[in-house]
Amino acid sequence: MTSLPIPSPPEPSGTTAPPSAASDPQPAPARPGLAELFMAFATISLSGFGGVLAWSRRAMVEERKWLTPEQFNEAYALCAFLPGGNIINFSVVFGSRIRGLLGAAVALAGLLGPPLILVIVVGAVYAHYGDLPVLRRMLTGVASAAAGLMLATVAKMARPLFRDRAVVGPLIAAVVFGSIGVLHWPLPLVLAVLVPVSIAYSWVRA
């Protein structure tokens, strides 16, 4: 498994980069500070209507480029396998790799703090107006948009699986989808069988 990157600090001004570094088309981004780490996860949590998977991938891979698509997939796969919420695990893992224990605490605070206030306010409003038909129709529309957003993110995350033209990775993903999404088999049973298979396959290819 590819470890999460810890970007190196920029070189002092006045130094000349070696030719190999100068030709690198994608230099490593600057190491984020605690404030930037907090704002990143606060933005993810406040934007994550219908789930934060899509927003976390956009923030980490597309906007800030702190992770490559492959690194994000591997980190999120690990966080999905561990107990607890996926994005909570991800914030702790990423924050600790960037800034240690303090980074993990800051990332977790940014992820949970602002939404906690928002949910309290929204919950109080919903308690008074939740039975209105117009509000129910609005929530139905939001649910449809969230489902489409999730499908689009899944398509983006699946792209690295097909880049090397390997068959086993997409096949395992299809078996998991069919077993859980179509046949409704128990999630622990499916993972108990397919996770060792995935690890063995990756070990052989390495």
- Per-residue model confidence as pLDDT tens digits over 29-53: 567 889 999 999 999 998 876 568 8
Question: Cβ(108)–Cβ(16) under 8 Å?
Answer: no
Cα separation, 51 vs 179, whole angstroms = 23
Q: Domain residues of the chain, as ranges?
A: 23-162, 164-206
Q: In the chain, how long is the greatest CA-to-CA distance?
A: 66
The residue among 45 and 20 whose pLDDT is bigger is 45
Percent of the chain past pLDDT 90, that is, above it, reads 31
pLDDT at residue 21, rounded to an integer? 44
Query: Quick one: average pLDDT of 75-87?
Result: 87
